[in-house]
Amino acid sequence: MALSNLPHELLDIIVEYSLPQSFENLATTCKRIYARCTPFIKRHNELRSRFRDFAYYAHARDSLVAASDLINLIAADPIVARYIRIANLVGDSRCLSHLRVRGEPPKSVPSIEDGGVIVQLFANSTYLQRARLDWRVYYSTFAEDVREMRYSQHGSAFLLTLLSDTENLTIPRSWKPNAATNQLLDVLAKEARQSCFLSSGLRSVTSFLGSLSRSETENWGLSWASPFLALPHLKSFSGPGSLAVGENPRSLAFRGSPHIADTLEAAHLGGCCIDDAGITDFLKHTPRLKTLRYSHSTQHDYLPPDWDICKFINAVAREAGSHLIELSINILELRGSILPGKASTRGFQKLKKFEFPLKLVECNINAAGVTGNIATSLQYFFNGSLDPFVRDLIPPSVTHLSLKSEGMGPHDGALNALFRHFCAVRRSQLPNLQEVHIACKPEADNVYKQQCNKIVAEGSREGVVVHLQAYEYSGGLDWDR
């Protein structure tokens, strides 16, 4: 083959450029090329073992505890960045206090005047240039953070410009957006989406996890994540603790933002405070979203204490009903109360897996009036029609249903309202239903437990498997199947 006829010097250059993605395939092409690859095999294995799944760590001999350490390493040996496929940067600078306790001297980076490879890395950064940031000012801020042994937002953001092959990214828990790093991220996201920048930073990211401290979330809401959500190959996003409420437009992810999350397929928003305006803004920009998992929390005083879950569900159905396949809505912690309203899931066309709290059923019961609702349901069944109460809450496409409850108060009535006519509902309105998971904790009311046991028996007769979950995490829907 023509490649094997090249001079040794050119072959060595080709071999080095093949690291790490194509190295192993190249080495197996022929004996001569394998011979040229042999000197690189040991280093390739060492780099892959050490950096493929990267996380910060503090060891006596070799510590990488902050962005500055990794930037310094990449500046001296750029190939290191190409090996990092999983970048778990959550622990950035967390171990600095341990180093102080151990009496280790603070690490530093050279001054601009002293120069060196790390200074040159910043000086030559096309991202800083296109973001119209003075690299000297940017580097000086970074160097001061390193010298004072504190977390550096400038360092963490710059590091992301070097990670062109990373597929799974978790940003630092200490992430603190500022004007300069936001400018840098905007350029990074824009260039990642352009085909002419094939090796741009973060271009390969398919999975992203990040959240801010509560004090930062109060100020930034979910808007800090919009550049990451715009990455061209992003499939999965996790943003725990996020805030997005209509009363604070600045908190919304995309309002006024040029970014769009048009490749996103799964969003996991745990312990968040997002209202109907916030989820509408988010979902308008996620046309391919298939999975949405959301849990609501208002444990802090600056968050709205009450939640209109009905408006939230209706917004999800309106904006994502045509393409959503899996939906989980839960209440993690609520300082206030659930606001009255009526939910409708009729907008869902493809929903297969559906999880929601029984408090949602209570809302619809209260909206219709208990007596009126039961009478209407019975009348519809006697006339051979569908039960409008069930139709409003469970789409006919659903195969797996999960109901969350503390098992106290009127929740037995909520179960009764859903499963009163189980046989008829199963055959006429829920033809695809296969499994039902119902929370039934040991401390639940006896009448609630009796209702659960009744549903298990009725489900068995209809070929539907009903699981009673004794604990919060004792099974439930398999969202990754």
* pLDDT band for position 256 (cuts 50, 70, 90): confident
d(CA 449, CA 387): 24
Overall average pLDDT of the 25-36 stretch: 60
> Model's pTM, two decimal places?
0.87
Q: How is domain 387-481 classified at the architecture level of CATH?
A: 2-Layer Sandwich (3.30)
pLDDT on residue 424: 84
Overall average pLDDT of the 386-404 stretch: 87
**Domain ranges across the chain:** 1-43, 52-205, 218-351, 387-481
- Considering the chain, what percentage of its residues have pLDDT values greater than 90? 56
> Measuring CA to CA, how many Å separate 362 from each of 218, 338, 398, 416, 427?
31, 10, 20, 11, 24
Overall average pLDDT of the 39-61 stretch: 78
State pLDDT tens for residues 328-355: 999 999 999 999 999 999 999 999 999 9
What is residue 339's DSSP assignment? P
The answer to whether residues 294 and 318 touch, using CB atoms and an 8 Å cutoff, is no
* pLDDT band for position 20 (cuts 50, 70, 90): low
* pLDDT band for position 79 (cuts 50, 70, 90): confident
State pLDDT tens for residues 8-18: 556 656 556 55
pLDDT on residue 408: 80
The string of DSSP codes covering 77-114 is: -THHHHH-SEEE-TTTTTTHHHHHHTTPPPP----TTT
* pLDDT band for position 23 (cuts 50, 70, 90): low
* pLDDT band for position 219 (cuts 50, 70, 90): low
Q: H helices within 261-340, ranges in order?
A: 276-283, 309-320
